Amino acid sequence: MIPEQLTGNAVGVFIGISSNDYSSHLLNRPFTDIDAYLATGNSHSTAAGRLSYTLGFTGPCLAIDTACSSSLVAVHLACQSLRNRECDIAIVGGVNRILSPEFTINFSQARMLAADGRCKTFDAAADGFVRSEGCGIIVLQRLSDAVNSQRPIQALIRGSAINQDGRSGGLTVPNGPSQQAVIRQALKNSLVNPTDISYIEAHGTGTVLGDPIEIGALGAVFADSHTSSKPLFVGSAKTNIGHLEAAAGIAGLIKVVLAFKHQQIPPHLHFHQPNPHINWENMRSQSLPLPQLGIGKRSV
């Protein structure tokens, strides 16, 4: 797919972005150093708009900030836009850069970060996440159009869903019932049965509070549909590359697509002792096996 051939076409751009490190850095300069490009160089809308402008795309152009879910919400909105024929192709992704120390200091003071710089998702030693930076982009198209154009298809998104935690134990504390609800809605929208799922790419931040809530939600949805002979594998890319924050979701999605392509699940690192705050025995009694984590590659 050559970008120049898409100029003037209804190509949408959907970018998840939430940090403003660069803007803070520039605003700390003397007023005399402010030039004509300060606003356009730092506005979140320009992160998406510059792509549409440079490449001549005329489809919807959105910058989405929903914190850690930003890039996956971007994928959801892009799929909706394609289904509504607002665009014919969608450029979708997320980006995160760490250019200033303030938020890292803030997260450290809030005890959100792993002391040893390792993300130990679902492990007994899990004590926080690890900040990382990066950018991920995927190209989406309606299946019928991709087939007719004879373009290579890496994976098919059958459906998606989004919601919000609402009230929980705190502003940054996840809500288990809300997580269950959005998983069930995604399955319903995809026309997929829980028994059809063999692997889940978890959010898996490696936090003391978040990991048990997430595994509990997964157990509530999938426990009755999996057995030891038909296990549900769970992993998180954060153990490999850290937490990309606004770009975390797209990193996980790309990981799953590559797992499909290579028929292997990448190893889940830093898993040695199951988190005691997760009721693993209860999961097993509900026919949900212990997630196969930290043991190298596995065939899909």
What is the domain extent for residue 117? 3-299
Number of domains in the chain: 1
pLDDT at residue 283 in the model = 66
Pair of tokens at residue 214 = 């997430």
How far is residue 80's CA from residue 122's CA, in Å, rounded to a whole number?
Answer: 33
Q: Are 94 and 17 in contact (CB under 8 A)?
A: yes
Task: Identify the CA nearest to 269 among candidates 243, 231, 238.
Answer: 238
Which residue stretches of the chain have pLDDT < 70? 1, 282-300
User: Which run of H or E residues covers position 63?
Assistant: strand 61-64
pLDDT at residue 3 in the model = 76
Place of tokens 């014919």: 88
Question: Considering the entire predicted model, what is its pTM?
Answer: 0.92
Q: Sheet harboring 89-96: ordered strands across?
A: 61-64, 11-16, 89-96, 134-141
CA distances from 70 to 75, 94, 98, 191 (A): 9, 7, 16, 24
pLDDT at residue 292 in the model = 47
pLDDT at residue 290 in the model = 44
CATH code, 137: 3.40.47.10
What torsion do the CA atoms of 40, 43, 47, 50 make, to the nearest 10 degrees?
Answer: -30
